[in-house]
Structure 1
Amino acid sequence: MSTGTNRILDDFAKLMTDAAGAAQGVRREVETAFRAQAERTLNSLDVVKREEFEMVKEMAIKAREENDALLARIEALEARLVDNGK
């Protein structure tokens, strides 16, 4: 009788293992479909990717620093012109 019980338990364990594997497969498929749909939606909204945003942000910071340096040079040159004209 214990052999019959063991077989039933083994079959039940196999069934549960198969069900868990199937559930994981379905989960992966749903995640993949969700990601694809989210990406399509974001692309249609013309949203900038984080990497692109960070790159442009760094470029803007550098441009601002260069602009400030050039402004300081212009002010220094103008001050020299005023001093030489006196």
Structure 2
Amino acid sequence: MQTENRFFDDFVKFMNGAAGTMAGVGREAGESVREHAKGLIGGLDFVSREEFEVVKAMAAAARDENDALKARIEALEAAAKPARAPKPAAPAI
């Protein structure tokens, strides 16, 4: 036997509305936190992975060029040094 009780119907409608409202508030809060975090992180000096890889490759190329120049300088210095001539003997008195 089913009885009609408006109180329970109204209460269920109220709870459904409150649950929907709370879900909306949760979504809004999540979006707000996400946007705030993006703002904080966006203000920092982070680089993308692609930029990092480019700089890393440039540093490796500069290091190789530096090593080649160092070897060239050492070779030029070695060629510029005069061969050591024997010192003349001191005159006997």
C-alpha distance in 2 between matches for 1:22 and 1:38: 24
Displacement of 1:35: 2.8
Query: Larger % of helix: which?
Result: 1
C-alpha distance in 2 between matches for 1:3 and 1:73: 98
Q: Which of 31, 46, 49 lines up with 1:49 in the alignment?
A: 46
For residues 11-50 of structure 1, the aligned pairs below 5 Å read: 11-40=14-43, 42=44, 48-50=45-47
Structure 2 counterpart of 1:65: 64
Look up the equivalent residue of 1:36 and give its one-letter code: G
Looking at CA atoms only, which structure, 1 or 2, has the larger radius of gyration?
A: 2
Displacement of 1:73: 2.7
Extract unaligned runs of 5+ from structure 1.
43-47
Look up the equivalent residue of 2:46 and give its one-letter code: K
TM-score, L = length of structure 1:
0.52
Displacement of 1:10: 5.1
Look up the equivalent residue of 2:34 and give its one-letter code: E
TM-score, L = length of structure 2:
0.50
Q: What is the count of residue pairs matched by the alignment?
A: 78
